[in-house]
Amino acid sequence: MTALVLCAFLGVAPELGQVVRQDGFQFRPPSAFRMARMDLFHGTRAGSVARSSGSTRYLAAALIDGDGEDAASLLFSVVEETVVLGPSSRDEFSTAVVRHFTDELGQPFQLERAQVTDGRVEVLGAIRQGSQLRRILVVVWPGEGKHLVGMASAPSGRWDELLPSIDASFDSLKEDPSISARPPQRYVWAFVALLAALLMISIGLWRRRQAARAG
């Protein structure tokens, strides 16, 4: 948000690309980012931060702004955990982020800052890949039954340049109305089961009435 305030003060708006829709959410990535081949990330848990290591999670979208070592990346993951923001959210997710990078990815995470702001948790830090220091921003949005995690990664030398557009991209994220208008699949199956149960009850009552008349 600090980066966005600075851009507004200077009269410069971060440039964002076209809307990307994925798995029930939509966002506008920074204009220089493009969708990466998902097979490059197959089997990875990178960015899918969860409070419980046993939670089901998967990478939903991966974007990059280049192919070299100095490229930045933007990842969005879906985690099947309910998240309700509260007083302990900052500490819970800063701990989860450190554990995710250090234990699951084998890359020690240097925590710099964690905060709850604008209805989401933000955790900022850095990792070292060889001789390169990369800044990492992890954002967690609350959700019922599942929540979304966004992760931006860039070399430290490019971070200040990219941060305004990364912040703006995260601010643009919202539920996709074209998908959210449809009821969740579990509710559809529950409704079908209810109809089947009512049908069986109706058949049972009809048979009883028929038996009573025959008697």
Q: What is the rounded distance in angstroms from the CA atom of residue 128 to the CA atom of residue 47?
A: 16
Contact status, residue 63 vs residue 29, Cβ threshold 8 Å: yes
Question: Tell me: the pLDDT tens digits for 137-190?
Answer: 999 999 999 999 999 999 999 999 999 999 999 999 998 765 444 445 554 545
Question: Tell me: the pLDDT tens digits for 194-209?
Answer: 666 666 777 767 667 7
What's the confidence (pLDDT) of residue 12?
53
Tokens 């998240």, residue?
Answer: 83
Model confidence band, residue 52 (pLDDT cutoffs 50, 70, 90): confident
Contact status, residue 118 vs residue 88, Cβ threshold 8 Å: no
Model confidence band, residue 6 (pLDDT cutoffs 50, 70, 90): very low
What integer is the mean pLDDT of 16-45? 85
Residue 210: pLDDT above 90?
no
Select from 1.20.1050.10, 3.40.50.300, 3.40.1000.10, 3.30.565.10 the CATH code of 2-180: 3.40.1000.10
Q: What is the mean pLDDT of the chain?
A: 83
Q: How distant is the alpha carbon of residue 122 from its chain centre?
A: 12
Number of Cβ within 10 Å of residue 8's Cβ equals 12
What's the confidence (pLDDT) of residue 168?
96
Model confidence band, residue 122 (pLDDT cutoffs 50, 70, 90): very high
What's the confidence (pLDDT) of residue 5?
46
More confidently predicted of 214 and 23: 23
Question: Tell me: the pLDDT tens digits for 56-69?
Answer: 998 889 999 998 88
Going through 52-119 in order, the beta strands assigned E by DSSP cover 57-64, 73-79, 110-117
Contact status, residue 85 vs residue 119, Cβ threshold 8 Å: yes
What's the confidence (pLDDT) of residue 171?
95
What's the confidence (pLDDT) of residue 54?
85
Name residue 27's amino acid.
F
Closest CA to 8 of 144, 171, 133, 173: 171
Model confidence band, residue 39 (pLDDT cutoffs 50, 70, 90): confident
SS (H, E, C) 93-144: HHHHHHHHHHHHCCCCCEEEEEEEECCEEEEEEEEEECCEEEEEEEEEECEC
Sorted by where each begins, the domain ranges of the chain are 2-180, 183-215
Q: What is the rounded distance in angstroms from the CA atom of residue 75 to the CA atom of residue 191?
A: 35
Alpha helix (H) ranges present in the chain? 2-10, 89-99, 156-172, 177-180, 185-214
Name residue 145's amino acid.
G
Structure tokens at 30: 């920074």
Q: What is the rounded distance in angstroms from the CA atom of residue 72 to the CA atom of residue 23?
A: 23
Contact status, residue 24 vs residue 175, Cβ threshold 8 Å: yes
